[in-house]
Chains A and B, each alone.
Chain A
Amino acid sequence: MNNISTMNNDKFSNLIHLMQTDDSVDAPTDAIKWSKNLFKTRAVEAKPGIIETLIGVLQSSLNPGQAAVGERSATAEQARQMLFEAGDSSIDLRISEIGGMFKVEGQLFGSESENAEVFFAGQQTELDEFGSFAFDSVAEGTYEIKLRFEDREIVLKGIVLE
């Protein structure tokens, strides 16, 4: 090592010796990548805390017996219709009673081509290609509906089934 041997006698000899005897190597790339990816699970867990939450505001409510816009009177007699607005989106909600239990159907407008999970009364589903969702056999009670998108969630509070 040409002129290095004499340098090793100086005050930095220990430092230099350690540098020159360091034969460690990098770990395999896939093991490093796996270790780094661990953190993504933590990032996903943290997500609900940082996304924007919009509270749906009830715009109109049509009770059974009142015909909804464009609706035939036969179904209007049994279905209750509610219209909520949240930001740029609106949600049309229909509640019907079948044998003492309730069916809740909804459709999202104004957020086309978006995927969302829908949570209601301990059940979970997803929006279909038309932005619609439905829950069957829900017992009487007061609930909230949550639509969770990638970057925000919409919450409809005070959904009374009676």
Chain B
Amino acid sequence: MESQETTSENFKAAKLAKDDAALIKRCRKGDETAWNDLVDRYQRLVFAIPRRAGLSESQAADILQEVFLTLFEKLDEIENPERVRSWLVTTAKFKTWGSVRKDKGFYSPETEEEMEYEMASVADAAPLADESLVVLEQQHLIRTALSRMEERCQTILSMIYLTEPSRSYAEVAEAIGVGATSISPLRTRCLKKLEKILGGE
């Protein structure tokens, strides 16, 4: 199972990679719950790649299914389970590019190496440029890390950063039952925890 690395340079996320490896190992032992967790964890990232390349929702859903089918078929062949994220991103990119070329009536390379060569020779590969994929991966890691945090931190960070419009400190304080002056230090503490999960420990 060869794949070109498209990993985030900013977040090593070693803990999350270990989580991935554990899920793959449980899948190999026939644990359906682990497979469901893996699909839940990665569906958004895999779906985002063809969407970012301009494919329709229906086409992107087809790509998602193809990617998970390929993963399922190769579950026992993955040599580095902790790198399954990179493998999923590369596979989604590969299949997306094939779909885009097919739509345009172009020849569709049959091997991953041939596909990489074709992609490198195209002038405008912006929708699937590595930088774009790195951002998608980083956002995936942040979402995953956030989901591992205690509920209070999830509430604080979500209300401040993920809701539109952002909620005020007073609203956040009321939601978690603390004084408004506590929110700023709590916010910093939660961000530090998030950063720690995303670190390379």
Q: Which B32-52 residues have C-beta < 8 A from chain A?
A: 32, 35-36, 39-40, 43-48, 51
**A89 within 8 Å of B by Cβ?**
no
Q: How far is the CA of A26 from the CA of B195 in the complex (A)?
A: 24
Q: Cβ of A74 < 8 Å from any Cβ of B?
A: no
A21 CA to B198 CA, complexed, in Å: 18
Residue in B40, B51, B166 whose CB lies within 8 Å of A1: B166
Q: B62-76 toward A: CB 8 Å interface, digit per residue (1/0)?
A: 101100110010010
Segment from B14-22, B103-111, B113-121, B155-163 that makes contact with A: B155-163
Residues of A within 8 A of B46 (CB): 27
Which residue in A24, A31, A34, A46 is a CB contact (below 8 Å) of B45?
A24
Whether a CB of chain A sits under 8 angstroms from the CB of B194 is: yes
The answer to whether B44 and A19 touch across the interface, beta carbons within 8 angstroms, is: no
A38, B45: Cβ atoms closer than 8 Å: no
Q: Collect the chain B residues with CB atoms within 8 Å of residue A15's CB.
A: 142, 191, 194-195, 198
Instruction: Give the nearest-CB partner of B135 in chain A.
Output: A18
A27–B48 Cα gap in the complex (Å)? Answer: 8
Chain A's interface size range is 20 to 34
Given contacts A4-B166, A34-B65, A43-B30, contact A12 B142 (CB under 8 A): no
Closest to B27 in A: A39
B142 touches A27 (CB 8 A): no
Task: Using known A-B contacts A2-B168, A24-B136, A38-B72, determine if residue A19 contacts B157 with beta carbons closer than 8 Å.
Answer: yes
Interface membership of chain A positions 64-101, coded 1 if the CB is closer than 8 angstroms to chain B and 0 otherwise: 00000000000000000000000000000000000000
Number of interface residues of B (CB under 8 A): 45
A14 to B161, CA, bound (A): 13
B80 at the interface (CB under 8 A from A): no
B-side interface mostly: helix
In the bound assembly, the distance between CA atoms of A18 and B62 in angstroms comes to 27
| B residues in contact with A19, CB < 8 Å | 139, 142, 157, 161-162
Closest Cβ neighbor of A20 among chain B residues: B161
Which residues of the other chain, A, contact B57 by a CB distance below 8 angstroms?
28
Minimal Cβ-Cβ distance residue in A for B49 = A24
Are B162 and A28 closer than 8 Å at their CB atoms?
Answer: no
Q: Is B91 an interface residue (CB 8 A)?
A: no
In this assembly, does B165 line the interface, its C-beta being within 8 Å of a C-beta of chain A?
Answer: yes
Q: A15-B142, A27-B44, A27-B61 are in contact. Are A38 and B195 (CB under 8 A)?
A: no
Residues 119-170 (chain B) with a chain A CB within 8 angstroms: 135-136, 138-140, 142-143, 157, 160-162, 165-166, 168-169
Select the residue from B157, B160, B161 with max chain A CB neighbours within 10 A: B161
Flag if A18 contacts B142 (CB, 8 Å).
yes
Interface residues in chain A, defined as those with a beta carbon under 8 Å from any beta carbon in chain B:
1-4, 7, 12, 14-16, 18-22, 24-28, 30-32, 34-36, 38-40, 42-43, 46
Complex A-B, nearest 5 residue pairs according to Cβ-Cβ distance, in ascending order: A27-B47, A35-B68, A31-B61, A39-B35, A22-B139
